[in-house]
């Protein structure tokens, strides 16, 4: 996996030439995977049609004049329940987290359910109650909702879509605001959620004790804001496409390079092992409770300490830094001193993960 400097530069040029253009005539699973195909679909189809200054910022939540944040996420996770969580908890945390990483305190959530005819009412009840508990834990109420029913076979039990509004408390966050020397922080173990789903599906003939990390990230976001102040450049929720996708989006938005120290990335041994077996890189695996933050170098220690003091932040780490070169790209410095390019994901190794 280690390449020479020349090979890396050639790869960079190749990747540049391959920037988004929608050639597909039909939707594939990859368009929902959060990687290159998803980005192309958004850039080539949604952005031109919905063009407006708020959408164009393409942050996790849209921030409207007056400091109101709005976000939405559809949840189609399979199976509905898995170690550490379920579609109901995920649907609350995911939307709370999109607000949180936008610096917005959640004010209220909506929940829309598309139910499959024949779904057991007890299964629905379990998810409604799971969502209610998750919302209560996150300190936010589900204030409105909708329910639709489709015929047998036309959904997998249920799909859930939540939206959230929040009040921006941490301003000045900007995905285009990264500067060389900035540090990249990660709030905890990487890859737990995707691995837990994979194991719950039985795709892997492996018994391992991995639970989803699904949790509200607002406590992390709020603590980082207090600890890093103006030195907090941006925060992201490393869901579909994982930490690698987040860092690629930030590198492109800021036109800077990001260098990740592979040995500094916190990964549980069992997650590492499962990913090896599947030929996956944990940096691409979805998380539901991992916050990635970029901070100015002078506040990095304080920011790391703030994360480490919170439940779930015990394994927070500085995993890399921002560099001037190569602009728009993410490199991983491997344990043996080489580099490899961490590009946007192509294809969909783990469909229906959230």
Q: Tell me: does residue 24 bind a second copy (CB under 8 A).
A: yes
CB 261 within 8 A of CB 338: no
Among 10, 19, 144, 305, contact with a second copy (rule: CB under 8 A): 144
Q: Tell me: does residue 32 bind a second copy (CB under 8 A).
A: yes
Region 45-84 residues binding a second copy, contact defined as CB under 8 A: 45-46, 49-50, 52, 54-55, 61-62, 64, 68, 70-76
Using alpha carbons, list the distances in angstroms from residue 218 to 103, 175, 237: 8, 18, 11
CB 265 within 8 A of CB 225: no
Interface region with a second copy, contact rule CB under 8 A, candidates 1-9, 124-132, 168-176, 298-306: 124-132
Q: Tell me: does residue 97 bind a second copy (CB under 8 A).
A: no
CB 101 within 8 A of CB 217: yes
CB of 258 to a second copy, least distance (A): 25
How far is Cα of residue 348 from the mean position of the Cα atoms in its chain?
15
Residue (193 or 339) nearer to a second copy, CB: 193
Using the Cα atoms of residue 43, residue 46, residue 50 and residue 54 in order, give the sign of their dihedral.
negative
Q: Any residues with CB less than 8 A from the CB of 34 and at least 6 apart, and which? A: 239, 240, 241, 245, 286, 345
In 3D, which of 107, 98, 93, 35 has the Cα closest to residue 62? 98
CB of 9 to a second copy, least distance (A): 33
CB of 36 to a second copy, least distance (A): 14
Residue (114 or 292) nearer to a second copy, CB: 114
Q: Tell me: does residue 351 bind a second copy (CB under 8 A).
A: yes
**For a second copy, how many residues bind (rule: CB under 8 A)?**
75
Q: Tell me: does residue 131 bind a second copy (CB under 8 A).
A: yes
User: Regarding beta strands 257-261 and 330-333, do their DSSP bridges make them parallel or antiparallel, or are they unpaired?
Assistant: parallel
Residue (112 or 302) nearer to a second copy, CB: 112
Among 165, 184, 196, 275, contact with a second copy (rule: CB under 8 A): 165
Residue showing tokens 């869901």: 239
Region 254-293 residues binding a second copy, contact defined as CB under 8 A: none
């Amino acid at each position: 996996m280690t390449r020479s400097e020349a090979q890396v530069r050639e790869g960079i040029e190749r990747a540049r030439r391959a920037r988004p253009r929608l050639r597909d005539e039909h939707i594939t699973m990859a368009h929902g995977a959060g990687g290159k195909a998803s980005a192309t679909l958004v850039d080539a189809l949604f952005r031109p049609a919905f063009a407006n200054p708020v959408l164009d910022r393409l942050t996790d939540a849209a921030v409207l004049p007056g400091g109101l944040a709005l976000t939405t996420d559809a949840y189609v996770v399979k199976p509905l329940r898995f170690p550490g969580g379920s579609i109901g908890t995920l649907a609350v945390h995911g939307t709370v987290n999109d607000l949180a990483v936008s610096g917005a305190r959640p004010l209220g959530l909506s929940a829309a359910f598309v139910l499959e005819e024949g779904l057991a009412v007890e299964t629905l009840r379990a998810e409604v109650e799971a969502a209610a508990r998750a919302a209560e834990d996150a300190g936010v109420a589900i204030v409105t909702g909708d329910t639709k029913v489709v015929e047998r076979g036309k959904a997998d039990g249920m799909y859930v879509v939540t939206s959230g509004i929040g009040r921006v408390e941490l301003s000045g966050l900007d995905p285009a605001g990264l500067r060389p020397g900035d540090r990249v922080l990660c709030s905890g173990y990487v890859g737990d959620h995707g691995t837990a789903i994979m194991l719950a599906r039985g795709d892997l003939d492996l018994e391992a004790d991995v639970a989803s990390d699904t949790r509200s990230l607002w406590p992390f976001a709020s603590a980082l804001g207090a600890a890093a102040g103006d030195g907090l450049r941006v925060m992201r929720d490393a869901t579909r496409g994982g930490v690698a996708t987040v860092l690629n989006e930030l590198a492109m938005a800021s036109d800077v390079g990001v260098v990740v120290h592979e040995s500094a990335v916190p990964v549980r041994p069992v997650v590492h092992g499962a990913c090896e077996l599947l030929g996956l890189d944990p940096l691409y695996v979805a998380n539901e409770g991992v916050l990635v933050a970029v901070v100015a170098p002078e506040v990095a220690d304080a920011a790391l300490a703030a994360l480490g003091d919170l439940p779930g932040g015990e394994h927070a780490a500085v995993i890399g830094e921002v560099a001037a070169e190569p602009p728009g790209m993410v490199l991983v410095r491997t344990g043996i001193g080489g580099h490899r390019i961490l590009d946007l994901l192509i294809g969909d190794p783990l469909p229906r993960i959230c």
